[in-house]
Structure 1
C-alpha cells in the first residue's frame, strides 16, 4: 500500500525541471526506448559526475525500478514512465510498488504460458520474465538450497550494508527497521555447483509451506495482523494491517504498469494461500469487474478503509498452529 496514486502524479515546477534533465539524458521524449542513451551503462555515465544530488538520486531510483520492479520489454533499458515515480519516491513519498511489481510479474508469467503454447519444435518464441524474485522464491523453498544462502556475516563482509552497534546485542543495519530482508540472503549468490534443474523436477524437494524456516538475522513480514494464538475477529478500524490481510486474501484485479500504460491482471488468492500458511480453499470464479481507478482504491491508505467497509464489516483472522500453518480458512 502507498499514499500516492501512481496514476495521478502531479509534478511541481522544481520536479518538472528534474524530469526534463532525465529526458535530456535520455535524448528527448521521442527517443527510442531501446536506443544507446537508454542503456543502463549510458545512464550511469550521464549522471555519475552530476553535482546535483537530487537529480542523481532520482536517476538511481529510475534505474532501480527499470531493472528490478518494471523489468518489461525492452529489458536492461531505462523506462521513461518511471521518471515521475522516481521523483516522488526520492522525496520519501510512498507508492504501492509491491502490488505493481506483482501485477507485472503475473502479466509476464501469463505471457510466458501463451508463448509456450505458441511454440513448437519448428518455432522459437523469445519470452522475458523477471527471474530474480522467482529464483529467490524457488531457492527459499528447495530443501537442497535453503541452507546455502549467505549468512549475515558474509553479507557484512561485502560492505553492502552498514552494521550499527546495538547495546542489546542484536544486529541492527542502517536503513532497515528490523533485520535484513530475506531476499538479501540470496544476493550475488553463485550456485553453479548445485543441481538446479533436477531439484526443481523433484516434487519432494519443494517445500509446500509458508516461510516456516527463516535464517538467523533475516526477517520476512507476516500478513497476519495478530501474533496471539487462536482465531480473532477484527473490526476494520482496529489495525491497519487488517487492510493488508484483506488485500492478500481477497480475489481482485491488480494494476500493473509497463511501457504501454496501466492495465489489470487477475489475482486469485487460492493459488498462493498455502504460501501464507492458509488452507487452500476450493477455487471459485473471480468475477471481479471494475476499472483501473477502482483497483487502485485498496492500495491507497486514504481510500482503502472506505473500499473495504463497502464490502466487509468484520474480519476473521485464522489461528496459527505451532508449525506455523493455519488450520482454518478465512
Structure 2
C-alpha cells in the first residue's frame, strides 16, 4: 500500500507562470501535493470546450439554494449572538451564522459562464492556462464552515438530546397540520423568535441550516437538519464544509450536463433546471479569485460576506471566457494582514516546515484536510463527490506537476467519511508563505498542452541556446569521465558511464518538454 502522505519534495525542471518573470526553466527543489505522475502521457487534460455560449443564455436555471434573510432574521441573529457567541465559536459556525445577515447580489450570467468551464471528471474549472476550483479552504474562509469535527450524519446520544428532538418534531408536526400543510419556515420563526423557549437556540439553528446551509425544499423546515441543530447548539463541532462543498460540486456537474445536452430545438422549451446548493459561495469565490470580474470589495473581512454584501455585480462579464493567468489570484486569503481567520493566521511571511505532533492543533489539521485528496459526503449520504486538491496545488502555495489518478473510496457514505477523516500521517508539513510564488514543471506544461495537438519542429533562438547550454555542460562531464577512465576497471567504467548517460537523457527530455510547451505558446 502506498504511503498516505500529503506532499513530497523533489528536484524538478520548473518555471514560473508569471508573465513578468523569465521563462527559462530552472532545476530546483519543489514541493508538490500528492499524488503526481512522472509520465507526460498519463491520461490527458480534459478539454471542456463546448459550444455552450448560446446554450448558456437559453438554459433556464433557478438557484433555489440562493436564500435571502427573512424579515426579522437579523434581529434574531443579534439576540442569539449575545447569548450564544461562545457556543458558535466552539462549534465552528460563528462566521457562517453571521454570513446569513448579508445579501450577495446574484449574477446568473457570471455563474453560468463558469459552468461552461466546469469538468465533472476533475472537479475543476479548466482554462487554457490550467485548472482551478472551489476547495475546502474556500469553504472555511468564505463560508465560515469547519472541515473538522464529526460527520453531519450524527446521532442522538443522550436523553436530553432526545427530549429536544421530540419537542422540535412536535412543533414541526403542528405546522404541517396548519392551513399551509407544511412546516413553513416563516411560521417556524414566528413560533420561536424571542419566545424564551428552552429550545429557542436549537430552533434558531435548525432554521439557519434549512435556509442557508442545506436548503432542499422551498421555505420548509426539513427533518434532516434537526439532529445537526441539536448538536451545534451544544457546541459540538461538525464538519459542515465537506457536506456543503459536495452539494456545490454536484450541482455544478448537473448544470454542465444540462448545458452540454441542450439541443438547438430546445430554445422554446420552458423547462427550468433547479439547483439547491448555496451558489452564493461560488460567486464570492469568483470575486475573491478573479479581480476583473468583481465589484470593489468592502473593508471588512469578518465575516467574509461583509466584504461583498449588497455589492452590485460587474455589468460586463463576457471577458471571463478569456480570463488570463495573471488575472487569477492563487492565494487571496493570506494577503490581508487584518484577516484573523484560522488559516490566515497559519500563513506567515516566510514558508516553513512544521513537525507534527500526535495531537495536531486545529489550524494545522484543518490545512491538512484542505490540501489532501478525499471524498466529500453530503447531508443525505447519497451525494458523495471526489475532492482533488492536488490538481490545483498552486492554490495552496505548492508547485504543480502532472496530477496522478485517485481511486474512488465511495462504496458507502460511511466508507467515504472514514477516508475523509483518516488521520494525518505526515511527519511534517510545509506551510507556504502568505505570498509564495509557485511554479510548474516542464513536464506539466507538455501534459496540459496535449489537448491542442502535437507540436511542430522547434526552432526559436531561446530553444537553441537552451539546448546548447545543456549539451555544453554534458561535454564537460564527458571530458571528466574520460580522464577518470584510465584508472578504473572495465565494468566500473561502463556502469559509471551508463548512469551519467541516463541522467543526461533525463535532463534533455525535460528541456524538450519545456520547448514543446513553449512552441505551443503555453508559456
1:14-35 per-position Cα deviation (integer Å, ceiling 9, x unaligned)? 3223222322332269x69xx6
1:182 to 284, 304, 320: 304
Are the aligned partners of 1:100 and 1:257 in contact in 2 as well (CA < 8 Å)?
Answer: yes
Are the aligned partners of 1:318 and 1:328 in contact in 2 as well (CA < 8 Å)?
Answer: no
CA–CA separation in structure 2 for the residues paired with 1:151 and 1:99: 28
1:323 counterpart residue number = 435
Are the aligned partners of 2:374 and 2:419 in contact in 1 as well (CA < 8 Å)?
Answer: no
Mapping 1:156-175, distance limit 5 Å: none
1:85 shift after superposition: 0.6
Are the aligned partners of 1:210 and 1:325 in contact in 2 as well (CA < 8 Å)?
Answer: no
CA–CA separation in structure 1 for the residues paired with 2:187 and 2:416: 36
Mapping 1:1-330, distance limit 5 Å: 1-27=147-173, 37-48=182-193, 50-52=195-197, 54-71=198-215, 73-121=216-264, 122=266, 123=269, 124-128=271-275, 129-144=277-292, 148-152=296-300, 180-187=302-309, 189-191=310-312, 194-195=314-315, 197-198=317-318, 200-204=320-324, 206-211=327-332, 214=335, 217-222=338-343, 227=348, 229-232=350-353, 234-237=355-358, 239-240=360-361, 241-258=363-380, 261-290=381-410, 291-297=412-418, 304=422, 307-308=423-424, 312-317=425-430, 319-320=432-433, 323-327=435-439
1:196 shift after superposition: 5.0
Comparing both structures, which one devotes a greater share of its residues to helix?
A: 2
Are the aligned partners of 1:96 and 1:299 in contact in 2 as well (CA < 8 Å)?
Answer: no
CA–CA separation in structure 1 for the residues paired with 2:354 and 2:194: 55
CA–CA separation in structure 2 for the residues paired with 1:61 and 1:236: 35
1:63–1:145 Cα change, 3 Å: same
Consecutive unaligned residues in structure 1, runs of 5 or more: 153-178
1:140 shift after superposition: 1.7
Are the aligned partners of 1:223 and 1:244 in contact in 2 as well (CA < 8 Å)?
Answer: no
1:134 shift after superposition: 0.8
1:226 shift after superposition: 6.2
SS in 1 for 2:156: coil
CA–CA separation in structure 2 for the residues paired with 1:24 and 1:81: 15
1:21-67 per-position Cα deviation (integer Å, ceiling 9, x unaligned)? 322332269x69xx653332222122225331x42211111111122
1:82 shift after superposition: 0.5
CA–CA separation in structure 2 for the residues paired with 1:113 and 1:180: 33
1:328–1:284 Cα change, 3 Å: same
1:323–1:7 Cα change, 3 Å: closer
Are the aligned partners of 2:349 and 2:435 in contact in 1 as well (CA < 8 Å)?
Answer: no
TM-score (norm 1): 0.72
Higher relative contact order (CA 8 A, sep 6+): 2
Are the aligned partners of 2:287 and 2:293 in contact in 1 as well (CA < 8 Å)?
Answer: yes
Are the aligned partners of 1:62 and 1:86 in contact in 2 as well (CA < 8 Å)?
Answer: yes
1:228–1:143 Cα change, 3 Å: closer
1:111 shift after superposition: 2.0
Q: How many residues align?
A: 285
Structure with greater Cα Rg:
2
CA–CA separation in structure 1 for the residues paired with 2:431 and 2:193: 50
1:292 shift after superposition: 2.7
1:287 shift after superposition: 0.4
TM-score (norm 2): 0.48
CA–CA separation in structure 2 for the residues paired with 1:325 and 1:147: 26
CA–CA separation in structure 2 for the residues paired with 1:234 and 1:26: 50
